[in-house]
RNA sequence: GCGCCAUUGGUGAAGUGGUUAACACGCUAGUUUGUGGCACUAGUAUGCAAGAGUUCGAUUCUCUUAUGACGCCCCA
């Protein structure tokens, strides 16, 4: 048997509906903030990621899917979304667009050559947004609040925003130097990995798991103490705007993104869900003012955010968030003989065109088994087609919930369904909630009926 | 890249170096001349991830590979 590739997943059944729903919420939110959907290729020239992400760490050298195509070109499956968006921004000369800044969002699969473990797969889906062409701290705040609002609209309750600032290049360099000086006399007492990090990526010592309780680590210099005047002002503005947008956050000096291209604002969003362990960071982002020019574009300030959809779905499941997912059909058509079957085929087509969700029997099962199938499909109504009834231009329709059966004229079937199914749909969307399902259920002081899909 | 544990029908699983691989759910059919969901009866893995080895004999022991779970490295 041919199995799926390591770290890849088939998303099927109810879970697939959850993904579809999450996608629809993302689309709706992005539309409100006026971010435009962008699709870029799944694979790009390897060089894009080498120059974009930088080859300082293991990431680009060991953890991407690289291959040569038949023409000998070096290709890499995209491991993240930003590099492709920036490439497209430059190639399509979006810096010349009348509308500035350029606000885009993406939602698609990424590929990372890693050993799978909890919350990490080789094929993963990320959505994210980028604002290119503005250094206004309001864009930093807007990106963070948009991310937070998407989580809230989905009904995620316990989320925490950690922000930090790395400052501009000068601040970053000063900080890095201070950090190296600080750790120099102590590093030999740290774990092996940290000793290596000291050489390769000293900022990451700050979130070492082994040495996290080490007093020396706890008292390490903080990025925000090394911000120069400009950087400090920018960070203060970002915090101001976040307050105005109603986003609660915590300044966490240990948030340091691994890549070189980040400067100024960096942030991570955690889902505080029981059983999520160390994989509770569901989204992260920051400002990357140097990336566009690094990829041969004009000097362009940018800020962005990305979120792993898999982890997000996992968080929704762990929090047992109720989602408005339709798992029923309007009508199941049953029959026994060939004549009735033909009519079932005809009628199902007509009703589908009229807007109803209709299914019928395809496996030659007994009537008894067909009823079971109707139950399994959660059919609101069932019809057993009967030659005699059909000759009288009639049909017996049964409400599968109340078990009441009525004989109605075929001519009014559509109106009958229209009336009775519409009501059901209204119930479903409304969920009996009077509060308007505003997505603010995690806000303090907001009262909820407790019946809608945002509550447990 | 490193480590650790696992893999038995459609599903949850029990089990053993030796004949027909428990049990339950599900599914299909019947009891019910075309109205189910209950009940009862019957059927439902020539098969224990794949390949190789040890053995008279392997689902069981050994090795290799694949996949899954969880750690480490790394984390875009």
Is A68 part of any domain? yes
Q: What is the CATH number of the domain that holds A405?
A: 3.40.50.800
CA atom of A156 to C1′ atom of B33, Å: 57
Looking at the domain assignment, is residue A414 inside a domain?
Answer: yes
Q: A176: Cβ–Cβ under 8 A, 6 or more apart, which residues?
A: A202, A203
What ipTM was reported for this prediction? 0.88
Which positions ≥6 away from A153 have C-beta within 8 Å? A25, A28, A29, A439
From A288, A318, A348, the end of a domain falls on: A318
Strands A250-251 and A159-165, by their bridges, are parallel
Residue A297 and residue A383 in one domain: no
Least Cα distance to A54 among A254, A166, A200 occurs for A200
Domain boundary among A318, A344, A376: A318
DSSP A193-205: HHHHHHHH-GGGG
Stated in angstroms, how far is A1 CA from B29 C1'? Answer: 31
Q: Could you count the other beta carbons within 10 Å of the beta carbon of residue A197?
A: 20
Report how far residue A262's alpha carbon sits from residue A106's, in angstroms, rounded to the nearest whole number: 20
pLDDT of residue A423: 57
Nucleotide nearest to A387 (CA to C1'): B34
Shared domain for A287 and A348, answered yes or no, is: no
> Cα angle at A366 between A406 and A410, to 5 degrees?
30
| pLDDT at residue A453, as a whole number | 39
Q: Are A19 and A325 in contact (CB under 8 A)?
A: no
- Three-state SS for A103? strand
Task: Answer whether residue A40 is part of any domain.
Answer: yes
**Domain endpoint, select from A299, A318, A337:** A318
| Residue % of chain A over a pLDDT of 70 | 91
Chain segment A159-216, per-residue pLDDT in tens: 999 999 999 989 988 999 999 999 999 888 888 888 888 888 888 888 888 887 788 8
Q: Do residues A82 and A52 touch, judged by C-beta distance below 8 A?
A: yes
- Per the DSSP assignment, residues forming a β-bridge with A305 are A129, A285
Q: Does some domain include residue A437?
A: no
Question: Are A260 and A347 within one domain?
Answer: no
Element (H, E) at A406: strand A405-409
CA distance A87 to A53: 13
- A279 and A384 inside one domain: no
Q: Distance (Å) from CA A66 to C1' B64?
A: 27
A387 assigned to some structural domain: yes
Is there a single domain that holds both residue A47 and residue A90? yes
pLDDT value of residue A431: 39
- Structural domain including A358 reads 329-430
Dihedral over alpha carbons A274, A127, A209, A214 (to 10 degrees): -100
Judged by C1' against the alpha carbon of A120, the nearest nucleotide is B75
> Are residues A314 and A246 part of one domain?
yes
Q: Residue A114 CA to nucleotide B1 C1', Å?
A: 9
- Give strand B nucleotides closer than 7 A to any protein Cβ: 1-3, 27-30, 32, 34-37, 49, 66-76
User: A374: part of which helix (H) or strand (E)?
Assistant: helix A367-376
Nucleotide whose C1' lies closest to the alpha carbon of residue A83: B76
Give the tens place of pLDDT for each residue, A67-118.
Answer: 999 999 999 999 999 999 999 999 999 999 999 999 999 999 999 999 999 8
**Whose C1' is closest to the CA of A5: which nucleotide?**
B67
Distance CA(A81)–CA(A322), nearest Å, equals: 29
Q: Is residue A348 part of a domain?
A: yes
CA distance A155 to A441: 7
Q: Do A377 and A424 sit in the same domain of this protein?
A: yes
CA A153/CA A49 separation, integer angstroms: 33
Which CATH number does the domain housing residue A284 bear?
Answer: 3.30.930.10
In a domain, A216, yes or no: no
Beta bridge partners of A294: none
Helix axes A137-154, A13-32, angle to 10 degrees: 140
Instruction: Assess whether A309 and A342 both reside in one domain.
Output: no
Residues A60 and A117 in one domain: yes
Q: Indicate if A146 and A51 belong to the same structural domain.
A: yes
Q: What is the pLDDT of residue A188?
A: 87
Residues A400, A87: Cα–Cα separation, whole Å: 55
Q: What is the mean pLDDT of each run of 10 residues along chain A (456 residues)?
A: 89 92 97 98 95 75 90 95 97 97 98 92 97 98 98 93 94 91 90 87 84 84 93 97 97 83 93 76 94 95 96 91 89 92 94 94 90 91 91 91 88 91 52 37 37 36
- Nearest nt by C1' to A200 Cα: B74
Q: Return the CA Rg of chain A.
A: 28
- Which nucleotide C1' is nearest A6 CA? B67
| Domain identity same for A68 and A160 | yes
Is residue A443 situated within a structural domain? no
A53 CA – B76 C1', rounded, Å: 7
Q: Total structural domains in chain A?
A: 2
Neighbouring C-beta atoms of residue A221, cutoff 10 Å: 18
Q: Are residues A269 and A416 in the same domain?
A: no
CA–C1' gap, A93 and B5, in angstroms: 53
- What pLDDT does A402 receive? 84
Whole-structure pTM over 0.80, yes or no? yes
Query: Residue A3 CA to B20 C1' — how many Å?
Result: 32
Residue A443's pLDDT is what?
35
């Amino acid at each position: 048997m041919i199995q799926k590739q390591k770290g890849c997943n088939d998303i099927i059944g109810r879970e697939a509906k959850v993904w579809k729903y999450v996608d629809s919420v993302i689309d709706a939110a992005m539309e409100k903030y006026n971010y435009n959907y962008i699709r870029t290729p799944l694979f790009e020239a390897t060089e894009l990621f080498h120059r974009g992400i930088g080859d300082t760490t293991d990431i680009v050298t060991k953890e991407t899917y690289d291959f040569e195509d038949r023409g000998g070109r070096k290709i890499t499956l995209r491991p993240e979304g930003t590099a492709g968006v920036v490439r497209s921004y430059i190639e399509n000369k979006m810096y010349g667009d009348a509308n500035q800044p350029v606000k885009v969002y993406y939602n698609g699969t990424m590929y990372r050559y890693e050993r799978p473990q909890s919350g990490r797969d080789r094929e993963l889906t990320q959505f994210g947004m980028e604002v290119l062409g503005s250094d206004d701290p309001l864009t930093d705040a807007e990106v963070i609040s948009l991310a937070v609002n998407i989580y809230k609209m989905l009904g995620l309750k316990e989320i925490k925003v950690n922000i930090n600032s790395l400052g501009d290049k000068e601040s970053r360099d000063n900080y890095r130097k201070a950090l190296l000086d600080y750790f120099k006399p102590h590093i030999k007492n740290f774990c092996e990995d940290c000793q290596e990090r000291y050489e390769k990526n000293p900022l990451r010592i700050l979130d070492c798991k082994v040495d996290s309780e080490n007093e020396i680590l706890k008292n390490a210099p903080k990025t925000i103490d090394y911000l120069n005047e400009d950087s400090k002002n920018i960070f203060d503005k970002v915090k101001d705007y976040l307050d105005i947008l109603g986003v609660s956050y915590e300044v966490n000096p240990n948030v340091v993104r691994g890549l070189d291209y980040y400067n100024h604002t960096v942030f991570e969003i955690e889902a505080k869900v029981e059983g999520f362990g160390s994989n509770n960071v569901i989204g992260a982002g920051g400002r990357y003012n140097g990336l566009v020019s690094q990829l041969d574009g004009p000097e362009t300030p940018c800020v962005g955010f990305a979120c792993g959809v898999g982890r997000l779905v996992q968080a929704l499941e762990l929090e047992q968030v109720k989602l408005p997912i339709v798992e029923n059909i309007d009508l199941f058509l049953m029959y026994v003989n060939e004549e009735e079957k033909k009519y079932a085929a005809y009628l199902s087509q007509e009703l589908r065109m009229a807007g109803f969700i209709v299914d019928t029997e395809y496996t030659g099962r007994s009537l008894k088994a067909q009823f079971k199938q109707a139950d399994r499909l959660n059919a609101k109504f069932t019809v057993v087609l009967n030659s005699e009834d059909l000759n009288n231009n009639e049909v017996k329709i049964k409400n599968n919930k109340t078990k009441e059966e009525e004989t109605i004229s075929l001519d009014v079937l559509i109106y009958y369904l229209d009336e009775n199914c519409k009501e059901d749909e209204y119930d479903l969307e409304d969920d009996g909630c009077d509060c308007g399902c505003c997505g603010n259920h995690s806000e303090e002081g907001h009262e909820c009926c407790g019946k809608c899909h945002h509550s447990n």
